[in-house]
Amino acid sequence: MKTVTIGIAYVLLAPVIGGLLAGVDRIISARMQRRVGPPILQPFYDVFKLLQKKTVVVNRLQNPAIICHLFFMIATGFLFFEGSDILLIIFVLTLSGVFLVLAASASGSPYSHIGAERELILMTAYEPMVLMMLVGIYKVTDSFHFYDILEGGKPLIVYLPGIFVGFLYVLTMKLRKSPFDISYSHHAHQELVKGIMSDLSGRSIAMVEIAHWYENVFLLGLIYLFFGFSPLLGIAAVIITYVFEILIDNTFARFRWELAFRSAWLVALVLGGGNLIALYALMGGA
């Protein structure tokens, strides 16, 4: 019952935390560029304004697909913090991404189609690293469940340093930050037409943004797992990771999709695969 309560708390609080993180992101990015930047609550103002705008639908499939994208993203975090199987959770997360691609593909716009294709490329780029992370976690803890992993008390960061660094690399893709924001960009100076978001409007954009807030909180929860043996260290790692991702976002120009794909698979092979080989050598194949 306690874990269900935590899952419900995630559903209620994650968009608030995610919106505040987006506000902090804008402020830190502005300071790095020697600008004042917007107020911390600006992301909420933007979403509320979008919710009040008229939504223009170019295909009847578009709105149901966006609603499913948001629903399954919420379900991903709820299942994670409720303590369900992480394999199931990653499947639900992928399903959420597929519905976003469907929403973009329903449009006749070539920009939207290109954005959908790039989103699929990113999904195939980061999935191998995510799967290696799950294999490593199970090998160390003998469990796929959030609270079993935490209660086991094993410092995952000690056993899985290569996998952690590899996950940080693909986390930049999941957070939609440079150099991997190739399917759509949050920054106007990088791309005028926003790819997968080109034909979305009003409430549809608001729902995608809220889904992104939910996803960010869930992803930072995965970072916490590596340091969960010490709650204070885990919270510190989450904060440092998010600030580091903002720094990367403001430092690197966007990669071409070919480089993004190749580099993600190379990182998965070298860091993820190397860490798993070393782990099996140290702990045995059983």
121 token code pair? 């490329």
Its domain, for residue 99, covers: 2-283
pLDDT at 113 over 90: no
Q: Residues 94-107: pLDDT tens digits?
A: 999 999 888 888 77
Give which of 166, 169, 148 is closest to 157, Cα–Cα.
166
Kindly state the average pLDDT of the residues 165-190: 78
Q: Show the CA angle centred on residue 214, arms to residues 176 and 216, nearest 5°.
A: 40
Q: What is d(CA 34, CA 87) in angstroms, rounded to the nearest whole number?
A: 43
Q: What is d(CA 131, CA 127) in angstroms, rounded to the nearest whole number?
A: 6
Q: What is the pLDDT of residue 194?
A: 63
Kindly state the average pLDDT of the residues 100-126: 83
Query: What average pLDDT does the chain have?
Result: 86
Phi, psi torsion values for 145, nearest 5 degrees: -105, 135
What does DSSP assign to residue 284?
A: -
Give the three-class secondary structure for 256.
coil
Q: Residues 237-259: pLDDT tens digits?
A: 999 999 999 999 888 877 888 88
Give which of 88, 133, 108, 98 is closest to 223, Cα–Cα.
133
What is the domain count for the chain? 1
pTM (predicted TM-score) = 0.89
- The per-residue DSSP string of 179-207 comes to TS--S--S-TTT-SS-GGGTT--THHHHH
**Cis omega (within 30 of 0) on the bond before 179?**
yes
Answer with the residue of higher pLDDT: 272 or 178.
272
Answer with the residue of higher pLDDT: 253 or 71.
71
Q: What is d(CA 30, CA 54) in angstroms, rounded to the nearest whole number?
A: 30
